[in-house]
Amino acid sequence: MTPLERRATGALAAIFALRMLGLFLVLPVFALEARRYPGGDDPALVGLAMGIYGLTQAFLQMPFGIASDRLGRKRVIVAGLLVFALGSFVAAFAPSLPWLVAGRALQGAGAVSAAVTALLADQTRDAVRTKAMAMIGGSIGLMFAVALVAAPPLAAWAGLPGLFGLTGVLALAGVAVVLWWVPPEPALHRGAERAPLAALLRHGDLLRLNAGVFALHTIQLAMWVAVPGLLVQAGLAKMHHWWVYLPAVLGSFVAMGLGLFPLERRGHLRAALRGAVALVALVQLGLLWAATEAAAGGGHGIAWLALLLFVFFCGFNVLEASQPSLVSRMAPAALRGTALGAYNTLQSLGLFAGGALGGALVKLAGPTGLFAATLLLSLAWLAVTWGLRPVGRTAASVPGA
């Protein structure tokens, strides 16, 4: 990477990290702390407060991406972070659960993921873009691990209002990063010949990648409905689950660095992506086996579950780096924000679907039914991804553009 590419990647990764740390700090304690609010005895309303963020974000990813193509990336990112911060402060001062729902919905309205990844694509060459995307993915994974450790003591000290207040402050810090650390915005998307929007909808490989991110995040969130229960059944107390999560996440970063980047340099990015999807499918098979054994009164123990989670995060990190990198290469600069907006919309819908379907499947068929469904979904995803065409290091164009 050039010094400018390193600066842009570091700054944009910091924006993601600040925003996602605030979100992740809330998640481990939200369901328990929300019960203390007036109206908190309604599980459906608690679930709505937790999930509404993903739904509003899904609706607004595409408009924010289109706006970044037309108005500029940085001003859209700043506007989105300010909306996110406002939603955080509304949630921090919420007197009741309906107000908490409103704050979470407003948080989701600050849907800047597409604009941030589009700006990263604007400021990096194809040859280093997967590495840049991996740094963003790594910052998100690291914040997830930090939140698992820090959330319980912070919640005990400041409660849910304090966590939301901290989330708002972190978002404002992200605004400062945009204004004073992110390099000047290139004008690649301004004044360029615009490709017809319908061309994105006809592009088979972009559709495959959009389907892939939906499947990945559906599987990811659905897994966490049942995995904590398996760890408890294996003998690991809830307060110690980070003993498994943190090494799995950090170890997967090392594995990704040793595997993904050399494969990309040799022109095997498509093969790496297929292999990562296959890893996700194998993990679902392993979790199905573990859930079946646990239902029969047996089990493989904590070490087996820790291994499965390590392998899952290896595949997950490769996919989080390679899929948006490929989207940015396939879309023309004039529609890059739009294409990444569509991609992030499917990502958000996957998170919403994973939470909703995961809970329903566990209720109806138990963890074995859940992991049977995620296994089938991952196999269907592998079949869809198999037809992905090779993409070189130079940006490809959308057919019909």
The tens digit of pLDDT for each residue in 226-261 reads 888 888 888 887 777 778 888 888 888 788 777 776
Number of domains in the chain: 2
- 151 lies in some domain: yes
Q: Per the structure block, which two tokens stand in for 293?
A: 């054994």
Same domain, 181 and 203: no
User: Could you say which DSSP state residue 187 is in?
Assistant: -
Give residue 145's region: left, alpha or beta (phi > 0; psi -120 to 50).
alpha
Listed residues 186, 207, 231: the one ending a domain = 186
Copy the structure tokens of residue 315: 């595949």
Statement to judge: residues 227 and 180 lie in one domain: no
Tokens, residue 54: 């993903």
DSSP label at residue 41? T
Q: Identify residue 254 by its one-letter amino acid code.
A: V
Identify which of 114, 116, 188, 112 has the alpha carbon closest to the alpha carbon of residue 342: 114
Structure tokens at 234: 């294996």
Is position 192 within any domain? Answer: no
- Structure-block tokens of residue 331: 């879309």
User: What is the model's pLDDT at position 358?
Assistant: 78
Q: Indicate the average pLDDT of the chain.
A: 83
Question: Do residues 286 and 229 share a domain?
Answer: yes
pLDDT in tens, 111-160: 888 889 888 888 888 778 878 887 887 787 778 778 877 887 888 888 88
User: Which pair of tokens denotes residue 12?
Assistant: 């944009």
Q: Clarify whether residues 398 and 254 are in a common domain.
A: yes
DSSP 8-class letter at 341: H
- Do 353 and 217 have their domain in common? yes
Helical axes 126-180 vs 301-330, angle rounded to 10°: 90
Model confidence at 395, pLDDT cuts 50, 70, 90, reads: very low
Q: Is 191 within a domain?
A: no
Share of the chain above pLDDT 90, in %: 26
CATH number of the domain at 397, please: 1.20.1250.20
Total H helices, total E strands in the chain: 12, 0
Whether residue 223 sits in one domain with residue 137: no
> Is 232 part of a structural domain of the chain?
yes
Same structural domain, 220 and 156:
no
Domain that holds residue 201: 197-401
Is 274 a residue whose pLDDT tops 80? yes
Single out the residue in 186, 206, 238 at which a domain terminates. Answer: 186
Tell me the average pLDDT across 364-393: 86
pLDDT tens sequence across 13-22? 999 888 888 8
The identity of residue 147, as a single letter, is A
How much is the pTM?
0.76
Q: Average pLDDT for residues 63-74, to the nearest whole number?
A: 87
Domain boundary among 151, 186, 221: 186
Query: Does 19 lie in the same domain as 86?
Result: yes
At 126, which amino acid appears?
D
